[in-house]
Structure 1
Amino acid sequence: LQHHSTVHHSTFLSPQAQRPWRRTALKPPAPGAAGALLALALLALIHLPPAPHHSLLPASSPPREVAVPLSGGQASRRRLPVLPTHLQQEQAPGRSRRRRGLERDAPPWLSADDLQKMWLLSSGQVVSKTRVPAHGQILRVRLRAEGDAEGDVLAASPEGDCQDGRCGLIKRPGDLYEVLAFHLDRVLGLNRSLPAVARRFASRLLPYSYTDGAPRPIIWWDPDLQHLEDANNDQNSCALGWLQYQEMLQPHGPMLAARDAPCSSIPPSEWSRLALFDFLLQVLDRLDRYCCGFQPDPSEPCVEEMLHEKCRNPAELVLVHILVRRSAPSRLVFIDNAGRPQHPEEKLNFRLLQGIDSFPAAAVATLRSGRLQSLLLRSLRLDRQLWESQGGAAGLRALLRTIDRRAQILLQHIRQHNLTVFEDSP
């Protein structure tokens, strides 16, 4: 081999290639030495490692093999699956970095079901819309969740749609308080409100006023809610007047309300949860849409619509937005929870608490803990659109102080009237 290489090297060494040796006054190498050098160079090239592969993806290790015993005691060799790379994990169906962050940072009072619905509301693609009768500024939209096939989401129609739970109600920008109400409900352990998030919409299916950059609340549409067939009273699961309601709060109340099956199935503890929640938010629409519990300003809707005049005759007063699920008729569902964040303290509506003699122990303990504001901040931080639109913690402080102040007033009311607390059922 060495001789063969020497012959070829000396044969192809041209006179021009030999001239540098003459210019440097060095003798040209002997033919045998040159051949040896060439052979060594060829051997070195053969044993060089392959050039590295410049890939944007991290290299994955080759599949390992393990022996898997067969039923007959023999062993066959089976390849173990290779773990997906970081990029493949990012692109896994139904998962994303943002969603994993949502689940990782979620406080314990938000359930897995809450998080799933919040993710649908905040990131689902709008595929259709429909107007809600008698609610001109509210749209019901159908959403395509991440990972849904295009054929899995059918176009919305006025009736019969949204039964799979993939719909939401888009409300006015001024109703963003409903998002805070949802988090308050979960922080207090009431778990009666429907999931809600703030969102900026950009879908071409929506009117321009919905895509102007202002965040709007979108609330999960619950297909299981029970509505009365009366078109003029379809925002109730049962027709209930104020006097009937007060009778139901008495120990013998449910017996007197036997004629109204849906409402009679609601125990007093549910009304206690509702009263506590509505007082903190000053939601009047359910229990006192007539503003009978305070002196309203002339600009109040209850005055402009001449509802306040009916306070003289309690028999004419009715409750609205009293809803339950068909699958759980003894459990209230709280809707339209925007309330009154700017309602003055001197006009707090204590009529919302009338007839209530006990409150849920877990919620009262949270109010007494002094941590209500910090717990709400931790929960609200999860809703990035709301958080940024309100200026973060600094922008939310005044609102949270108002709720905390109402909580202290409620605790004082409980002490002054020697009211009790009850343990929540599991």
Structure 2
Amino acid sequence: MKKKEGGWCRSFREQDFPDSDRRRIRVRPDLQPWLSKGDINKMELLAGGEVVSKARVPAHGQVLQVALDPPAPQQKSEPPEGGPAHRRAGTHSERCQQGHCSLVKRTDDWFEVFAFHLDRVLGLNRSLPAVLRTFHSDILPYRYISGTPRPVVWWDPDIKHLADKDNDQNSVPLSWARYQKLLQVHCGSKANLKTAPCVGVDHPEWGRLALYDFLLQVNDRLDRYCCGFKPDPTDLCVENLLYTKCGNTNELLLVHILVRKADPSTLVFIDNAGRPQQSANNLNFRLVEGIDEFPESAVSVLQSGCLESLLLHSLYTDREFWDSQGGASGFRTIIQTVEQRGKILLQHIRDKKLRVNRDL
């Protein structure tokens, strides 16, 4: 950490974040080295691409899939995933397969943009690029162009979805009981990835996911039933009576367990809005249940005291998100909340004497 990120362990200065830079995506390789060229291309597509078509997402009424025409500089270069050369013509589905689509989410899901930057500065690199954006296109329904910015997440055409329409937000069907069993056998190192209880995902992936979800307090993945904390009466897990199933582990299912077709042993993190307001005395430790190792790169960032500086330099890249939160001072409270959760997680690792493994 000292060699790799030591220069970032300084207090931020106002001149690091000039208001005079009015680009939608403000990137300098020396300021945000954790953002790849692919990340930057996708962020620029999401922030500046012209809306050309839209489609509903089945069973997700508050999410709209929107195809975007890449900004002019990108039209002369490779598309986000290096696929076929960009062309304006084509159906909505074809544009999405070219990597030119996004998911426009609820205004309340703004924390998902923060989550993308957290993923990158921790060195996890498992979430999809996301920005905050205000739309003005006549193609979109009125509520999407009413002036309130919305989180926009890149739509990855390579993610594997189950054919079951009631379970399409998974690449593999996975119950809580089977999940706990596969954690014990260490899939990929001590057990065959394709032999039950394994589901094809490498063991270290679950530690990355658990760390990320704990910091963000994402329950709608490993704990969609809200069994590991006291939910609010307005939470969907309470309104839909999922909370009542916690006593029967055989009925508990995981959701948003996704992989890419081209890389089925590596997880992809989606729907990462989590719970920015979750209090420290109501944290969900079920998210780390059964986890016996965590990634060294992410743990070293949490230990270093650099997280605030790293996040501020990363968040600054998204001008609309930065401005909407009031800049560095506006982000300070939420960053401190995540830092506190990080300290609690580090104490958990020490208390349980869990392993910290070097990333491959």
TM-score category of the 2 structures, normalised to the smaller one = 0.7 to 0.9
Structure 2 equivalent of residue 146 of structure 1: 71
1:102 Cα offset (Å)? 2.6
| C-alpha distance 107-256 of structure 1, shift in aligned 2 (>3 A) | closer
SS of alignment partner, residue 249 of structure 1: helix
Q: Share of identical aligned residues, percent?
A: 57
Measure how far apart 1:299 and its partner are.
2.3
Q: CA deviation at 1:161?
A: 4.6
Q: Structure 1: how far apart are the matches of 2:186 and 2:36? A: 35
> 2:277 aligns to what SS in structure 1?
coil
The residue that corresponds to 1:206 in the other structure is 140
Task: Name the counterpart of 1:383.
Answer: 318
TM-score by length of 2: 0.86
RMSD: 2.1
Contact 1:143 1:166 in 2 (8 A): yes
Q: TM-score, normalised by structure 1?
A: 0.73
Contact 2:187 2:202 in 1 (8 A): no
Q: CA deviation at 1:204?
A: 1.1
Q: Is 1:108 the equivalent of 2:33?
A: yes
Q: Whose relative contact order is higher, 1 or 2, with alpha carbons under 8 Å and at least 6 apart?
A: 2
* Cα distance in 2 for residues equivalent to 1:190 and 1:152: 33
Counterpart residue number, 2:13: none
1:208-227 aligned at under 5 Å gives the runs 208-227=142-161
CA drift at 1:296: 2.2
Distance 1:411 1:101 in 2: 32
1:271 equivalent in alignment to 2:220: no
Q: Equivalents in 2 of 1:210, 1:100: separation in Å?
A: 21
Gap change, CA 1:203 and 1:252, over 3 Å in 2: closer
- Judged with a 3 Å threshold, the aligned counterparts in structure 2 of structure 1 residues 258 and 113 are, in CA distance, closer, same or farther, namely closer
Q: Which residue of 2 is the match for residue 184 of structure 1?
A: 118
- 1:219 is paired with a residue whose SS is strand
Count of residue correspondences: 327
Q: Tell me the CA shift for residue 103 of structure 1.
A: 4.2
Query: Tell me, what secondary structure is at the counterpart of 1:102?
Result: coil
Provide closer, same or farther for how the CA distance between residues 385 and 252 of structure 1 changes in structure 2, counting only shifts above 3 A.
closer
In structure 2, distance between residues paired with 1:370 and 1:189: 15
The corresponding residue for 1:416 is 351
Structure 1 residue 138 displacement after superposition: 1.0
The secondary structure found in structure 2 opposite 1:110 is coil
Task: Check conservation: 1:169, 1:219, Cα contact below 8 A.
Answer: yes
Counterpart CA distance in 2 for 1:185 and 1:110 is 10
Aligned to 2:236: 301
Q: CA deviation at 1:155?
A: 4.8
Whole-Å separation in 2 of the counterparts to 1:100 and 1:253: 39
**In the alignment, which residue of structure 2 is the partner of 1:323?**
258
Structure 1 residues 303 and 166: CA distance shift in structure 2, 3 A:
same
Secondary structure in 2 matching 1:377: helix
How much does 1:267 deviate? 1.3
- Is it true that 1:396 corresponds to 2:321 in the alignment? no
Q: 1:120 to 1:252 in 2, by over 3 A?
A: closer
TM-superposed deviation, 1:152: 1.1
Contact 2:26 2:318 in 1 (8 A): no
Q: 1:327-349: CA deviations, max 9, x gaps?
A: 00000000000000001111100
Q: Using the alignment, how far apart are the partners of 1:357 and 1:100 within structure 2? A: 38
Q: Retained in 2: the 8 A contact 1:275–1:352?
A: yes
Structure 1 residues without counterparts, runs of 5 or longer: 1-96
Distance 2:323 2:24 in 1: 18
Cα deviation, residue 260, structure 1: 6.0
- Cα deviation, 1:312-340, whole Å, max 9, x if unaligned, reads 10000010000000000000000000000
Which one-letter code corresponds to 1:174 in the other structure?
D
Deviation, structure 1 residue 98? 3.8
Within-5 A mapping of 1:27-106? 98=23, 102-103=27-28, 106=31
CA distance in 1, matches of 2:311, 2:160: 30
Partners of 1:235 and 1:321 within 8 A in 2: yes
Q: For 1:266 and 1:108, locate their aligned partners in 2 and report how far apart those are by CA, in whole Å.
A: 28
Query: Take 2:254 and 2:43, find their aligned partners in 1: how far apart are those partners?
Result: 29
Q: 1:105 to 1:136 in 2, by over 3 A?
A: farther
1:228 pairs, out of 162, 170, 175, with: 162
Paired residue secondary structure (1:176): helix
CA pair 137-332 structure 1, distance change in 2 beyond 3 A: same
Q: Distance in 2 between the 1:375 and 1:252 partners? A: 32
Q: In the superposition, relative to structure 1, how do residues 408 and 244 fare at CA in structure 2: closer, same or farther (>3 Å)? A: same
**Mapped partners of 2:215, 2:100: distance in 1:** 30
Tell me the SS of whatever aligns to 1:218: strand
Distance change (3 Å), C-alpha of 1:139 and 1:156: farther
Cα pair 1:247 1:253 within 8 Å, conserved: no
Q: 1:401, CA displacement in angstroms? A: 0.6
Query: How many Å separate the matches in 2 of 1:117 and 1:414?
Result: 35
Distance 1:205 1:260 in 2: 47
Q: For 1:169, what is the secondary structure of its paired residue?
A: strand
Once the two structures are TM-superposed, the CA of residue 264 in structure 1 deviates from its matched residue by 2.3
In 2, the alpha carbon distance for the partners of 1:214 and 1:386 equals 12
Q: Which amino acid aligns with 2:106?
A: R
Q: Which moved more, 1:102-111 or 1:380-389?
A: 102-111
Counterpart among 114, 124, 129 of residue 195 in structure 1: 129
Deviation by residue 1:148-170 (Cα, 9 ceiling, x = unmatched): 38x8123544x555111011111
Contact map agreement 2:24 2:48 (CA 8 A) in 1: no
Counterpart of 1:124 (choices 30, 46, 49) is 49
Give the aligned partner of residue 109 of structure 2.
Answer: 175
Which residue does 1:251 correspond to in 2?
Answer: 185
Gaps of 5+ in 2: 1-21, 77-85
Separation in structure 1 between the aligned mates of residue 144 and residue 206 of structure 2, nearest angstrom: 35
Matched-pair contact (CA < 8 Å) for 1:280–1:403: yes
